[in-house]
Amino acid sequence: MAVLPILLVLLLGSSPTSSRAADEELEVTVLDVSLLEPHTSCSGHRVMPPHPHNNSWMPLFRPLGPCSPSFKAAAAAARAKPSLAAVLRQDRLRVHHIHRRVSGSRGARASKGSFKEPVSVEETQLHHQAAISVEVGTSQTSSEPSSSIHPAATDGSSSPPVTVVLDTAGDVPWMRCVPCTFAQCADYDPTRSSTYFAFPCNSSECKQLGRYANGCSSNGQCQYIVTGDSFTTSGTYSSDVLTINSGNPVHGFLFGCSQNEQGSFENQADGIMALGRGVQSLMAQTSSTYGDAFSYCLPPTETTKGFFQIGVPIGASYRFVTTPMLKERGPAATLYRALLVAITVDGKALNVPPEVFAAGTVMDSRTIITRLPVTAYGALRAAFRNRMRYRAAPPQEELDTCYDLTGVRYPRLPRIALVFDGNAVVEMDRSGILLHGCLAFASNDDDSSPSILGNVQQQTIQVLHDVGGGRIGFRSAAC
């Protein structure tokens, strides 16, 4: 029988002989991922997702896991799983990308020595990413390609689904299109969609691209370019019908039709669904219909599903703890940031001066490991080590607090909570504390760069980005 392929945690009651101090700690089961076989079935949602009401809801999944619509067990078994070192190297590229954007806005410097050439390992980050399945385009009954002047007849049906990775730090949605110059194109072929339109260079949409504009093609079509943490994509700036669930099409959805790529974007995904605060993002394009808000819940394992919602959750708002959303100018203006004010371990606040957190905390769906100011991380590490009663193991890259849990079925883990402005206390789920037996936090180089809340710590928590309400919210045990 197959077993879970990543960290699995179960809450257990304290034993009768435990000390009072120990009783205050959580007991969890931690399984060594290196000893586990791949799991080939999806168990669905661990918690029933909220009713969509007036907003759009859809399942969220790990692109390489069995909950992905395109999952193939044979291909998964043959695929080499990237090493932890490779995953962390790729994650450092992501952190550098975010810090570089912030440093361009406020003069703070990016983490030194964090930038390296993209690693050659494919799909390194995709194990830890969140994706949704969408449909782009409308099938046409005619075999003739469509144009803006003479659109082809349509039978009203949508195109094959594509898998897009959610990116809260991205501004321009894009997806791989046919034809393309890279190894794997998506199933989306603009010539087969009756509703596809390529923007001309003199269009207002092209002028709105700003720093993402990339000139004009030989036939007068607007070109875009997006440089990510480890890749660059370019192609034609376009529009088509986006279907995010069966009943909510977004007409005239603007996106980059990617025909050229450089770097190491993963082959098991078809593109990026940008959710940033830029004028080209999905949020900006759907704000008049759903309001300027979205939320998501990342599942703790590849074998379970989370969810993604557009709009403010109706009927569940009282379950969120909220904190003000910070505003920024310049390249970092489209990032989602909040003010972290304290960290607690087993309910006790760490002795960290408030000014250490002054740079704010970026909420990011694609960074894996949470980054903290060096002073804050040092205090967290000391408190965590003081409460762990297991033999230390060698560090793994920047993960310097690791343990040998071989043969330990029920290790005890201290509770960790992040406290945001407004007394918004967010306790980490048990699955968000360790990664491969190591404390799943890392340090910035100093206290001037912002913290980044990684997706390991966001697992099972519904994270609300309410731009209209100027707040960020957290609801625990949501998926």
Task: Please state, in angstroms and rounded to a whole number, the distance separating the CA atoms of residues 45 and 61.
Answer: 10
The DSSP annotation for 347-412 comes to: TEE----GGGGTT-EEE-SS--SEEE-HHHHHHHHHHHHHH--S-EE--BTTB--EE--TT-SS-E
Quick check: 338 and 326 in contact, CB under 8 A?
Answer: yes
Closest CA to 414 of 444, 394, 439: 439
Phi then psi dihedrals of residue 127, to 5 deg: -65, -25
Could you say which of 91, 364, 429, 447 is catalytic?
A: 364
Is 23 one of the annotated active-site residues of the chain?
A: no
Is 421 one of the annotated active-site residues of the chain?
A: no
Task: Please state, in angstroms and rounded to a whole number, the distance separating the CA atoms of residues 254 and 238.
Answer: 6
Say how many C-beta atoms besides its own lie within 10 A of residue 15's C-beta: 10
66: enclosing H helix or E strand: none
Question: Scanning the structure block, which residue is given the tokens 């669930």?
Answer: 245
Task: Please state, in angstroms and rounded to a whole number, the distance separating the CA atoms of residues 122 and 303.
Answer: 21
Task: Please state, in angstroms and rounded to a whole number, the distance separating the CA atoms of residues 40 and 22.
Answer: 37
Identity of the amino acid at 338: A
Could you say which of 91, 167, 187, 292 is catalytic?
A: 167
List b or e across 274-311, with b for residues whose CB sees 16 or more CB atoms inside 10 angstroms: bbbbbebbbbbbbbeebbbbbbbbbbbbbbbbbbbbbb
List b or e across 152-180, with b for residues whose CB sees 16 or more CB atoms inside 10 angstroms: bebeeebbebbbbbbbbbbbbbbbbbeeb
Task: Please state, in angstroms and rounded to a whole number, the distance separating the CA atoms of residues 310 and 467.
Answer: 12
Quick check: 27 and 39 in contact, CB under 8 A?
Answer: no
Quick check: 127 and 302 in contact, CB under 8 A?
Answer: yes
Cis upstream peptide for 179 (omega within 30°): yes
User: Which H, E and C letters describe 283-324, residue by residue?
Assistant: HHHHHHHHCCEEEEEECCCCCCEEEEEECCCCCCHHHCEEEE
Encoding tokens for residue 445?
A: 């180089």
Phi then psi dihedrals of residue 18, to 5 deg: -65, 150
Identity of the amino acid at 429: D
Catalytic residue numbers read 167, 364
